[in-house]
A and B are shown apart, each in its own frame.
Chain A
Amino acid sequence: MAFFWRRKKDEDKFSSSILGLDKSLEELKAQEEAVEREIGVRFTKAIEKTRDSINNKLDTIFEGRKQIDEAFLDELEEMLISTDIGVATTMQILEAIRKGVSRQEINDLGALKAAMRKELLEILHHSEQRGVADERKYDLDIKPYVLMVVGVNGVGKTTTIGKLAQRIKNEGHGVLICAADTFRAAASDQLEIWAERAGVPIIQQKQGTDPAAVLFDSLRAAKSRNADVLIVDTAGRLHNKSNLMAELEKMKRIAGREVPQAPHETLLVIDAVTGQNGLEQARQFMKTADVTGIVLTKLDGTAKGGIAVAIAKELNLPIRYVGIGEQVDDLMVFDPESYVNGLFN
């Protein structure tokens, strides 16, 4: 990923890639620490209800028990299921815990929480290693860098784009937005307001235009205006509608024809309330749209977004950002540690 805060494997702190090259190392570090602190605080706040429920519940169900027995594991199972991580992932975690218990490695609540945290982190980290667009692999001269945002209806694509546009712009890049949802009523007006909020230009056409045509225009415009990043909003579509998926494929093709290797990044937006269907969504969008990462939105509600963990596990697709509200700065880089710690502090 070329533009955003991202933890480098060999470094402890977040680093920005092509951004802030003009700043001194100290400045950068201080800035990153501040950002990290802020992320930590806001993230924790956002998922506090989640943490509350899981953490307190763990404590409550363990209360009065001398050991980890089957009845306790049953309750644990329910708790895991309630996060939407799915039956398979739940079973995997429980299996690891059963093993730990029988080997006497897990004897108390602390050890149990640590084991669960470890299992979850392993899944999340593993997904980060594969299929991630790595900033170091990118030719930094790519211009425009084309970022497509896809997903089923109503998950938060347009809102996420507004937030992303601001982030990228704040890092000193020229952003252009493409309003390729020409289907939904007032989709383009909505995106236009977001573009205004972020202070970036937008290319739009009237409702009913072929989205591929708007994309084509935008690609041309991005080149002629020398924009660094082109963010493409797409209409919500259910992954089982082959005509709509074909439309997406066509858009992908057109992007690639106009700009080599485009789209360079395709983010799949998943609503945190999504249940097991999210897995199929990811599977299908990966197939047609070469998704490179997940944005998990609406994590400010009580849903835990566990399906994104299941996606990471089954499909090795990393979670890149989380949405924690409807304001322009309510988008955070996903950090596995904060997420998991948030669950099991």
Chain B
Amino acid sequence: MFESLSDKLKSTLKNLRGEGKLTPEHVDVALREIRMALLEADVNYKVAKDFVESVRAKAEGQEVWQDLKPHEQVVKIVYDELVGLMGGTSSRLVFTKQIPNVVMIVGLQGSGKTTSTGKISRWLKDNQERKPLLVSVDVYRPAAREQLRVVGGAVGVAVYQDKETNDPMTLVRGAVLHAQEMGFDTLMVDTAGRLHIDDDLMVELEQIKAETRPVEVLFVADAMTGQDAVRSAEEFHRRVGITGVILTKMDGDARGGAALSIKQVIGQPVKFVGVGEKYDAIEPFYPDRIAQRILGMGDVLSLIEEVQGKISEDEAQKQLEKMTSNQFTLEDFRNQLGQFKKLGSMSKLMKMLPEQMTGGLQMSDEQSAEVEAQMKRTEAIIGSMTRAERNNHKIIDASRKTRIAKGSGSTIAEVNGLLRQYEQMKKMMAQMNRGGLFSKLAGKAMGGLGGGLSGLLGGGGMDGLGGMFGGGSGSNEEFDNNYDETRDSLAKRLKKKKRHKKRK
């Protein structure tokens, strides 16, 4: 899959070291790689060009911090610049006293307008104490209005309908009146998908806007969009004045460079991110996440911080020693599960990990739920063991198994499964210790996580994912090489820097 930008830069810059300053040559070499990375992530070529120039201006002649290597420093500059450009988190819709406040949803065909209309209305109703009304003015696509009606039903939001007419203006006027009469404070107008070069339909949007004077015009953009994103966004913006962007289908594995392109050409913030087909699959937008995703860094920095925050280094150290000395008991296993759960859902965790770690795999919410359910069962089974059993699993004989199964509401087969899994895990840890993978990771305060993940994924019966940590030494080796110290050391150093700042 993708080689991360940081790895690329590392190999290109590995011979350039120790001069204390980023020289123009360093920067040139690095910028070429950065440009390629951006293009591969679908950042528009013009936007990529401008971006690279602004990084150049910042990077040249900059002191290399003591703690960072040149490539790390460049990544840091690029990353900061990218986060800066993506803007703050602003998943707020601006409302006025006007009744109703109109929110227009616009965009290309199939981008996710109707689904997003449902998601946002639900969010407004549940979290913002708004009373929304929906109307579809898509009189063109087959069953488009019916779709919104079903969506409205699913999210419990009223939908205005007028089967008598096929005229968008009549529909929208009717909806405004209805909202005023019935006391809906927010009217969301789901418009038909259209091409930005379809003049008739763009005029129609202008008319709807003039008629309803919306407080928000939200442009729905598919995260998988390529180079053309700037054109459509620009034209929609020119015609109807976009106030915010909704970036949909971010649950896919697209790098999402279009987000940067769109932000750059229209200057309006991404307000929401769509992360699934269900109506609660909507999130606020975090510039740092998309920056990392575009650069192929995963959310590893924040992941490490989270891990560090939640697992004390001492404890990690203790666990590490246990793991490597092959004294890892079921009690330890249970502790790890507990720590692991603190980190949140598996699918979220997987999204945060860099691609080298996951091999590009992602976990769906369903799989995540499955692993979590498995974790719960495992915890219950271990919970039904006595302390003696937890500290020495070998004493668990048939009658003990029967008792444990009963106590945890599971079957003997499940108890056996768990014991097998635990033994495998132990074996794996010994292997890994030899390979040095997790000792390295764990040494960097990821002991709990590494162990927990490997146990869960290696033994959890999830084939594809199992391979990623438990898949034997071959993949581990690759992982070992790739991972090196780049990210975690960067994070550590950044953290040091932060501490430093705090002291000031």
Smallest Cβ-Cβ distance to B142: which chain A residue: A193
Contact B225 A275 (CB under 8 A): yes
Contact B367 A242 (CB under 8 A): yes
Smallest Cβ-Cβ distance to B109: which chain A residue: A298
Q: Which residues of B contact A184 (CB under 8 A)?
A: 147, 277
User: A189-B142, A242-B364 given as contacts; is B277 within 8 A of A153 (CB)?
Assistant: yes
Q: Which residues of A contact B41 (CB under 8 A)?
A: 276
Give how many B residues have a beta carbon under 8 Å from the other chain's beta carbons: 54
Contact A86 B40 (CB under 8 A): yes
Stretch of A61-69, A76-84, A119-127 lying at the B interface: A76-84
Interface residues of A in 269-294 (CB under 8 A from B): 271-278, 280
Beyond A239-B252, A276-B255, 11 extra complex contacts between A and B, CB < 8 Å: A84-B226, A153-B249, A154-B222, A189-B147, A190-B147, A274-B224, A274-B225, A274-B226, A298-B195, A303-B227, A307-B226
Q: How far is the CA of A278 from the CA of B226 in the complex (A)?
A: 9
Choose among A207, A238, A307 the residue that contacts B252 (Cβ–Cβ < 8 A): A238
Does B141 sit at the interface, judged by CB under 8 A? yes
Choose among B141, B151, B254 the residue that contacts A190 (Cβ–Cβ < 8 A): B141
Q: How many residue-residue contacts, CB under 8 A, span A and B?
A: 154
Contact A276 B40 (CB under 8 A): yes
Q: Which residues of B contact A86 (CB under 8 A)?
A: 40
Q: Which residues of A contact B485 (CB under 8 A)?
A: none
Contact B109 A156 (CB under 8 A): yes
Q: Which residues of B contact A6 (CB under 8 A)?
A: none
Q: Which residues of A contact B180 (CB under 8 A)?
A: none
Does B76 sit at the interface, judged by CB under 8 A? no
Interface of A is mostly: loop
Contact B362 A240 (CB under 8 A): yes
Q: Which residues of B contact A240 (CB under 8 A)?
A: 251-253, 361-362, 364
Does B258 sit at the interface, judged by CB under 8 A? yes
* Of listed A162, A189, A241, residue having the most chain B CB within 10 A: A241
Does B110 sit at the interface, judged by CB under 8 A? yes
Q: Which residues of B contact A183 (CB under 8 A)?
A: 277
Q: Which residues of A contact B45 (CB under 8 A)?
A: 78, 81-82
Min C-beta distance of A95 to chain B, whole Å: 15
* Of listed A239, A240, A275, A280, residue having the most chain B CB within 10 A: A275
Min C-beta distance of A163 to chain B, whole Å: 12
Could you mark each residue 244-273 of chain B with 1 if its beta carbon is under 8 Å from any beta carbon of chain A, else 0? Answer: 000001011111011000000000000000
Does A185 sit at the interface, judged by CB under 8 A? yes
Contact B150 A273 (CB under 8 A): no
5 nearest A-B pairs in the assembled complex, by CB-CB distance: A275-B226, A154-B110, A275-B42, A193-B142, A185-B150
Min C-beta distance of B256 to chain A, whole Å: 9
Min C-beta distance of A71 to chain B, whole Å: 14
List residues of chain B with CB under 8 Å of any chain A CB: 36, 39-42, 44-46, 49, 108-112, 114, 140-144, 146-151, 154, 195-197, 222, 224-229, 231-232, 249, 251-255, 257-258, 277, 361-362, 364, 366-367, 464
Q: Which residues of B contact A186 (CB under 8 A)?
A: 143-144, 146-147, 149-150
List residues of chain A with CB under 8 Å of any chain B CB: 49, 78, 81-84, 86-87, 152-156, 162, 183-187, 189-190, 192-194, 197, 207, 236, 238-244, 271-278, 280, 298, 300-304, 306-307, 326
* 19 sample A-B contacts, Cβ–Cβ < 8 Å, listed by A number: A83-B227, A154-B110, A185-B114, A186-B149, A186-B150, A190-B144, A239-B252, A271-B224, A275-B42, A275-B225, A275-B226, A275-B254, A275-B258, A276-B226, A277-B42, A278-B224, A280-B253, A301-B197, A326-B140
Min C-beta distance of B481 to chain A, whole Å: 24
Contact B222 A49 (CB under 8 A): no
* Of listed A152, A207, A273, residue having the most chain B CB within 10 A: A273
Smallest Cβ-Cβ distance to B113: which chain A residue: A154
Smallest Cβ-Cβ distance to B465: which chain A residue: A242
* Of listed A78, A183, A242, A306, residue having the most chain B CB within 10 A: A242
Min C-beta distance of B379 to chain A, whole Å: 24
Smallest Cβ-Cβ distance to A50: which chain B residue: B228
Contact B42 A156 (CB under 8 A): no
